[in-house]
Amino acid sequence: MTNNKNVLNWVDEMVALCKPDKVVWIDGSKEQLEEIRALSVSTGEMVKLNEEKLPGCYIHRTAENDVARVEGRTFICTRNKEDAGPTNNWEDPKVMYEKLGAMFDGVMKGRTMYVIPYCMGPVGSKLSKVGVELTDSTYVVLNMAIMTRMGQAAWDHLGDESNDFVRGLHSKADIDEEKRYIVHFPEDNTIWSINSGYGGNVLLGKKCFALRIASFQGKNEGWMAEHMLILGLENPQGEVKYVTAAFPSACGKTNLAMLIPPEIYQQKGYKVWTVGDDIAWMRIGDDGRLWAINPENGFFGVAPGTNMKSNPNALISTQKDTIFTNVVHNLDENTVWWEGLDKNPPKNALDWKGNKWDPESGVKGAHPNSRFTAPAINCPCISSEFDNPEGVPVTAIVFGGRRAKTAPLVYQARDWEHGVFVGSIMASETTAAATGAVGVVRRDPMAMLPFCGYHMGDYFAHWLEMGKKLGDKAPKIFNVNWFRTDDEGHFIWPGFGDNMRVLEWIINRCDGKADAVETPIGYEPKPEDINLEGLDIDLETLKGLLSVDVDLWKEEAKGIHEFYGKFGDHLPKELAHQLEILEENLNK
Beta-carbon contacts of residue 305 (< 8 Å; ≥ 6 apart): 339, 340
d(CA 282, CA 311): 26
HEC readout, 122-134: CCCCCCCEEEEEE
> Do the annotations mark residue 254 as ligand-binding?
yes
> Do the annotations mark residue 370 as ligand-binding?
yes
> Do the annotations mark residue 218 as ligand-binding?
no
Q: Is 57 a catalytic residue?
A: no
Give the DSSP per-residue string, 9-76.
HHHHHHHHHH--SEEEE----HHHHHHHHHHHHHTTSEEE--TTTSTT-EEE---TT--S--GGGEEE
Question: Which among 511, 578, 517, 587 is positioned nearest to 547, based on CA atoms?
Answer: 517
Instruction: Return the sign of the alpha-carbon dihedral for residues 529, 530, 536, 542.
Output: negative
> Do the annotations mark residue 119 as ligand-binding?
no
d(CA 393, CA 244): 10
> Do the annotations mark residue 483 as ligand-binding?
no
> Do the annotations mark residue 250 as ligand-binding?
yes
> Do the annotations mark residue 585 as ligand-binding?
no
Set 77, 119, 208, 251: catalytic member: 251
Which H or E element spans position 374? strand 371-375
Strand segments, DSSP code E, in 101-260 are 112-120, 129-135, 149-150, 165-171, 181-185, 190-194, 224-226, 229-234, 240-246
Which H or E element spans position 418? helix 416-424
Beta-carbon contacts of residue 151 (< 8 Å; ≥ 6 apart): 26, 27, 28, 29, 117, 118
> Do the annotations mark residue 69 as ligand-binding?
yes
> Do the annotations mark residue 276 as ligand-binding?
no
Helices (H), 206-288: 214-221, 253-257, 263-268
> Do the annotations mark residue 383 as ligand-binding?
no
HEC readout, 494-547: CCHHHHHHHHHHHHHHHCCCCCCEEECCEEECCHHHCCCCCCCCCHHHHHHHCC
d(CA 520, CA 397): 20
> Do the annotations mark residue 18 as ligand-binding?
no
> Do the annotations mark residue 106 as ligand-binding?
no
d(CA 193, CA 185): 11
> Do the annotations mark residue 459 as ligand-binding?
no
> Do the annotations mark residue 198 as ligand-binding?
yes
> Do the annotations mark residue 253 as ligand-binding?
yes
d(CA 189, CA 86): 21
d(CA 103, CA 18): 9
Distances (CA, A) of 2 to 35, 67, 295, 368: 22, 35, 22, 41
> Do the annotations mark residue 249 as ligand-binding?
yes
DSSP strand pairing (229-234 vs 271-276): antiparallel
Which H or E element spans position 274? strand 271-276
Distances (CA, A) of 557 to 38, 332, 411, 567, 586: 57, 56, 17, 16, 9
> Do the annotations mark residue 251 as ligand-binding?
yes
> Do the annotations mark residue 278 as ligand-binding?
yes
Which residues does the annotation place in the binding site for GTP?
A: 250-255, 371, 402, 496-499
Which residues does the annotation place in the binding site?
A: 69, 198-200, 207, 227, 249-255, 278, 369-371, 402, 496-499
Which residues does the annotation place in the binding site for substrate?
A: 69, 198-200, 249, 369-371
Which residues does the annotation place in the binding site for Mn(2+)?
A: 207, 227, 278
- The set of catalytic residues is 251
